[in-house]
Structure 1
Amino acid sequence: MKFKNPMLVVSDMEKSKKFYKDVLGLRVILDFGANITLTGGLCLQTRESYEEFIEVSNDDIKFAGNDFEIYFEESKVGEFDKFIDKLESMKDIKYVHKSKEHSWGQRVVRIYDPDYHIIEIGEDMKNVCKRFADSGMNKEEIAVRMDVPVKFVNNLLK
């Protein structure tokens, strides 16, 4: 058994394609009309076709469950702040919450896509470590702050 791709059911394929391209920079790599695959492996399926596949009516497909999220990381140093600025400049972004820092030091933002699927964008953990090191913390202090072993910090700072 091999996991392949996550798939989200969407009510408007064009609107969803535009959101994932404009907000997250994903591109369509396969387009079958009712189903597309985006860079990174995320797939989108039209609501109508999915209803047929699983043999249910329109009322049986629910959005906005707040019980699942797709997670992305901004991996380049300094890019998380630029991404937050980009979101702030976009008029139609619906936030679960704006940028916040978790107890282990990682900054994240959670937004909704057009169908209210939760999208989390986090700061890469290597960048969290680097940010703490740049602030003057030593490896042991970083490990305590992040609640991880020093070995993990050493690997991230290589």
Structure 2
Amino acid sequence: MVLKNVLLIVKDIDRSRRFYQEVLGLMVLADLGRKVLFAGGIVLEESPPWEDSLEISAVYGGNDMELYFETLDVEALRERLAASDFHVEFLVGRDEDENEVIRFYDPDRHVIEVKRAFC
């Protein structure tokens, strides 16, 4: 068995695609309308098709998982997030250098952590 993707349920596919593509800089591999696949294995799917096919409701902001990324410039990402029109909510941790790590919610309250890469 091989993990192929991580699928996140979102309320508004266009808004979430814009956040992941324009603010986080992820590359879109395929846009299937209510499902968008990004390089790196992240897939966004709008809630109605997902909920309808499984007959369960999506839950947002569970704080029970996070997406983890690394970047060479955490401060540049922090500035892009602050300057975006998404009103990003930042999460504060203890004993961490803010130049080394940043945590925040995406538009659907999925936790994202980004640490500074060293290579």
Give TM-score scaled by structure 1 length: 0.66
Unaligned runs of 5+ in 2: none
Partner deviation per Cα, 1:73-110 (whole Å, 9 max, x = no partner): 00x3xx22222232333351111238x726xxx82111
In structure 1, which of residues 80, 88, 97 is the aligned counterpart of residue 92 of structure 2? Answer: 97
1:9-88 alignment, distance < 5 Å: 9-56=9-56, 60-74=57-71, 76=72, 79-88=73-82
Residue 119 of structure 1 and its aligned partner are, at CA, apart by: 0.8
> Rg bigger for which structure?
1
Name the structure with the higher helix share: 1
Q: Which has the higher contact order (CA 8 A, sep 6+)?
A: 2
Q: Secondary structure at the match of 2:40?
A: helix
Percent identity, aligned pairs only, is 34
In structure 1, which of residues 102, 110, 118 is the aligned counterpart of residue 111 of structure 2? Answer: 118
What is the distance in 1 between the residues matched to 2:8 and 2:69? 15
CA-atom RMSD in angstroms: 2.2
What is the distance in 2 between the residues matched to 1:87 and 1:34? 24
What is the distance in 2 between the residues matched to 1:115 and 1:6? 15
What is the distance in 2 between the residues matched to 1:6 and 1:111? 18
What is the distance in 2 between the residues matched to 1:20 and 1:66? 19
Unaligned runs of 5+ in 1: 128-158
Pair 1:108 & 2:101 matched: yes
What is the distance in 2 between the residues matched to 1:88 and 1:49? 32
Give TM-score scaled by structure 2 length: 0.85
User: What's 1:141 paired with?
Assistant: none
